[in-house]
Amino acid sequence: MFSSFMMNAWITATIVAVIAGVVGFFVVLRGTAFPAHAIPNGAFAGAAAANVLGVSSLLGLGVCALLAALGIGALGRRGRKDVATALALVMMLALGAVFVSLSGEYEPEIYSLLFGEILGVSTSEILPVVLLGLACIAAVVFLYRPLMLSSIVPDIAEAKGVRNHRMEMAFLVVVAGATTMTLPVVGALLIFSLMIGPPAAARSITDRPLLAMVLSVLIALGTVWIAIAASYEWNWPIGFFVGVLGALSYGLGRGWAALRRTRRAVHAVHAEAAQALAG
């Protein structure tokens, strides 16, 4: 499991989990689950196009993820946001299908782009992933305060001079960056699971933003590591484990939150009863 051909997978997956945990925290906070789902699917078209044109797939991914992010941001400004996102998403997917059909490599190609292929990571791909990952983290650190403000209290942010629409665009670009690096590993459809399951779980455990972000990274790391190990052990696709574990961690987070609420309620009732008795 830790032999040399698996090392690349472990390293990239670890970086992917850290980025997904951090960026995903804001995805959940801002309620931009749908765009976060749409951008990776748009990037799928890029990877397929790069294959036809014979350029690096990372380049294709990056360009198309960026186009998808800007397109969704621009279209969403003039019409209903969810409609614009849905239509941009299927348009990019359909383009991807055409490129794949042009390249003549059907099944395995589509499959690994959508659902990921951990063994497909080569050593030369690690450096770009690290660089892009650092860029994403740097962008989040740089935007942290205004992004946080515009996510939680958009009105106050606007009053303080934060342009909410620009912030939205900037954030979608960060999501695009995160997508570009994560797609080859977990696939277009499942980056989304990683960006939403762990942060959602973390958010239901704690309300403190920094703590939630750290937790979200930890849960994402756990999810990816277990997924790789399980996928290696049973030879099932990694996407399956990422998807199911993502949902599972959210379920556990919700359960934990519910448990705490009931406990708090019980405490409150006890306290009231004690007061009533004393009075």
Partner 1 sequence: MTDLHWIFEPGFFSSQPVHVAVTIGGVAAVVCAIVGVFTVMRGQSFAGHALADVSTAGGSGALLVGLTPLTGFIGGGVIGAAAMDMIGIRRVRGRDLATGIVLGASTGFAALFLYLDTTSAAVTGATQQILFGSIFTVDPSTIPIVAIFSATALVIIAVIYRPLLLSSMSDDVAAARGVPLRLVGLLFMLALALAVGLSALAIGAILSTALLIGPAAAALRLTKRVGSALALACILGVGSTWLGILLAYDSYYWGSSHRGLPVSFFIVGLTFALYLASGLPVVRAHAERRAKQSGEAP
- Burial pattern 21-45, b for ≥16 Cβ within 10 A else e, equals bbbbbbbbbbebbbbbbbbbbbbbb
- Which residue stretch of 29-37, 55-63, 125-133, 206-214 sits at the interface with partner 1 (rule: CB under 8 A)? 29-37
Q: Which residue's structure tokens are 């937790």? A: 215
Taking a C-beta distance cutoff of 8 angstroms, is the pair 194, 242 a contact? yes
**Residue 88 or 181: which CB sits closer to partner 1?**
88
Q: Does 252 bind partner 1 (CB under 8 A)?
A: no
- Cβ neighbors of 250 (< 8 A, separation 6 or more) are 196, 197, 200, 201, 204
Distance CA 29, CA 27 (A): 6
- Which residue stretch of 5-13, 15-23, 48-56, 246-254 sits at the interface with partner 1 (rule: CB under 8 A)? 246-254
Distance CA 79, CA 91 (A): 17
The token pair that represents 152 in the structure block: 């939680």
Q: Does 120 bind partner 1 (CB under 8 A)?
A: no
Q: Does 273 bind partner 1 (CB under 8 A)?
A: no
**Residue 126 or 240: which CB sits closer to partner 1?**
240
Q: Does 171 bind partner 1 (CB under 8 A)?
A: no
Nearest Cα neighbor of 95 from 52, 39, 57, 49 is: 49
From candidates 25, 26, 34, 171, binder to partner 1 by CB under 8 A? 34
**Residue 84 or 137: which CB sits closer to partner 1?**
84
Q: Does 242 bind partner 1 (CB under 8 A)?
A: yes
- Which residue stretch of 74-82, 136-144, 174-182, 265-273 sits at the interface with partner 1 (rule: CB under 8 A)? 74-82
What helix, strand, coil percent values describe the chain, rounded to 5?
Answer: 90, 0, 10
Q: Does 18 bind partner 1 (CB under 8 A)?
A: no
Least Cβ distance, residue 226 to partner 1 (angstroms): 13
Is residue 121 helix, strand or coil? coil
Q: Does 229 bind partner 1 (CB under 8 A)?
A: no
Task: Report the Cα 149 to chain-centroid distance in Å.
Answer: 21
Distance CA 98, CA 18 (A): 33
**Residue 8 or 85: which CB sits closer to partner 1?**
85
Per-residue mark of binding to partner 1, 80-99 (x: CB under 8 A)? x-xx-xxx-xxx-xxx-xx-
Binding residues (CB under 8 A) for partner 1: these are: 28, 31, 33-34, 37, 41, 78-80, 82-83, 85-87, 89-91, 93-95, 97-98, 101, 106-108, 110-111, 114-116, 187, 189-190, 192-193, 196-197, 200, 236-237, 239-244, 246-247, 250
